[in-house]
């Protein structure tokens, strides 16, 4: 029996989408869906929910929970990772509140920036433990990472974990539908090319019947900027730098030095930037789960329609040898020629029985590559800190972050990092 292992299966709603998709995929019938989570109640909830979907769908997949991670992984052909280390309380709160004391405000704090750095530092050791288990009990498995910070964790698993890993994010899939719906443009028959790094990939080409749609997109975007709306940061970046970015405006507001500035508070209102957005979402999700739990976990009539998540389509393409195209996060083996070879990049990939094969992109527009490199700098120094356990590299990563460096002095950055290290306590290894 082939096996799909889901690490972080207590993410019940996400497990419903990904593993529910598997149960709706003919090529994956008969697979064992192995569930693992350190939260045993949430693990049981997900097992009950998936068992209900199995019964209602007539799937022949086997749903099984494990409390031993290595046994959950043993013999797996595919591994899906969706963990969060430290959760909302205490770690997410810490990532926001300590920087706020120094005057550094954030929106999501899960990719780069000071919040992204510390999320990486507490997650990388856990991921390397996963990698050791994978190498021992399922060395040929394809590891599909959904956990943020996407670029760094996917990089670490490939470079230091020795595990065949592809990072999967929703932003590429949602880019064209969200942009075109907001601008009132019909997306039927549109062809697009997207590449860059995770959360900062670029809509490089967008055409319909051979016609370049960018002039009309920019014309409508410029009109939209005359009023308040939810995507003002990305439109501003497109109008100034020439290309639309895949990930949302609330994310991109903190990836650049232009938008969240203490000395220009009017920018927050002008660009509709939701400060402290992620903590708000966490509180809402915790409250919403209490209401959703009964509907999902104990609903014997629960049904599922296949979603647009990449995972089941990747596995289906490998099992059937029918090609499928994804936007995947992979190592930059010469794929984007003006980004560092040490970086993890997000590029179009072809999936078939051979696995995930990235496609060559070449040079990005120089301004786009330059913006990507500002974030790659922090990513690579964060990895250096995590692997060497040298505190100075945490400082370096923070000092090179565009938003942090634009707001704080080097002394304040160093002091803030020291305070964050102390506050994280045992969530981090010792740094010398």
| Residues with a known catalytic role | 170
State how far the Cα of 371 lies from the Cα of 199, in Å rounded to an integer. 12
The dihedral region occupied by 297, where left means phi > 0, alpha psi between -120 and 50, and beta the remainder, is alpha
CA distance 108 to 172: 18
DSSP letter (8 states) at residue 158: H
- Count of residues making up the chain: 432
Residue 138, H or E segment? none
CB 395 within 8 A of CB 117: no
Query: Which tokens sit at 66?
Result: 């494990």
Q: Find the helix or strand (DSSP H, E) in which 171 lies.
A: helix 171-183
Q: What is the C-alpha to C-alpha distance for residues 59 and 28, in angstroms, rounded to an integer?
A: 9
CA-based angle 236:237:238, to the nearest 5? Answer: 90
- Residues 157, 179: contact at Cβ < 8 Å? no
Residue 115 · residue 98 · CB < 8 Å = no
């Amino acid at each position: 029996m082939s096996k799909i292992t889901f690490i972080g299966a207590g993410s019940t709603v996400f497990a419903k989408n990904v593993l529910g998709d598997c149960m709706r995929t003919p090529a994956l019938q008969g697979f064992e869906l192995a569930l693992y989570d350190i939260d045993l109640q949430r693990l049981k909830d997900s097992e009950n929910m998936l068992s209900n979907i199995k019964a209602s769908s007539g799937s022949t997949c086997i749903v099984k929970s494990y409390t031993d991670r290595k046994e959950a992984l043993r013999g797996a052909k595919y591994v899906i990772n969706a963990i969060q280390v430290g959760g909302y309380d205490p770690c997410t709160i810490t990532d926001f509140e300590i920087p706020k004391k120094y005057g550094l405000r954030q929106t999501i704090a899960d990719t780069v920036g000071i919040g992204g750095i510390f999320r990486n530092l507490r997650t990388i050791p856990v991921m390397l433990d996963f990698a050791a288990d994978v190498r021992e009990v399922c060395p040929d498995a394809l590891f599909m990472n959904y956990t943020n910070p996407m670029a760094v964790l996917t990089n670490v698993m490939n470079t230091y974990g020795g595990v065949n890993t592809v990072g999967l994010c929703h932003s590429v899939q949602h880019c064209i539908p969200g942009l075109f719906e907001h601008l009132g443009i019909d997306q039927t028959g549109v062809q697009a090319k997207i590449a860059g790094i995770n959360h900062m990939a670029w809509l490089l080409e967008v055409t319909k019947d051979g016609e370049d749609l960018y002039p009309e997109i920019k014309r409508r975007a410029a009109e939209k900027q005359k009023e308040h709306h939810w995507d003002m940061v990305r439109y501003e970046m497109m109008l100034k730098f020439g290309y639309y970015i895949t990930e949302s405006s609330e994310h991109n507001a903190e990836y650049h030095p232009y938008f969240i500035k203490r000395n220009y508070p009017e920018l927050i209102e002008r660009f509709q930037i939701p400060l402290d957005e992620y903590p708000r979402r966490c509180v809402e999700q915790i409250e919403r789960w209490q209401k959703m739990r009964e509907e999902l976990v104990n609903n014997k009539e629960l049904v599922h329609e296949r979603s647009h998540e990449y995972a089941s389509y990747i596995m289906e393409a490998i099992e059937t040898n029918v090609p499928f195209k994804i936007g995947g996060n992979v190592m930059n083996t010469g794929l984007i020629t003006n980004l560092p070879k040490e970086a993890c990049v997000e590029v179009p990939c072809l999936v078939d029985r051979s696995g995930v094969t990235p496609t060559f992109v070449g040079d990005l527009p120089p301004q786009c590559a330059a913006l990507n490199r500002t974030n790659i700098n922090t990513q690579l120094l964060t990895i250096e800190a995590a692997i060497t356990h040298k505190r100075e590299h945490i400082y370096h990563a923070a000092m090179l972050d565009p938003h942090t460096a634009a707001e704080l002095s080097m002394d304040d950055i160093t002091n803030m990092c020291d305070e964050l290290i102390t506050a994280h306590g045992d969530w981090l290894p010792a740094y010398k």
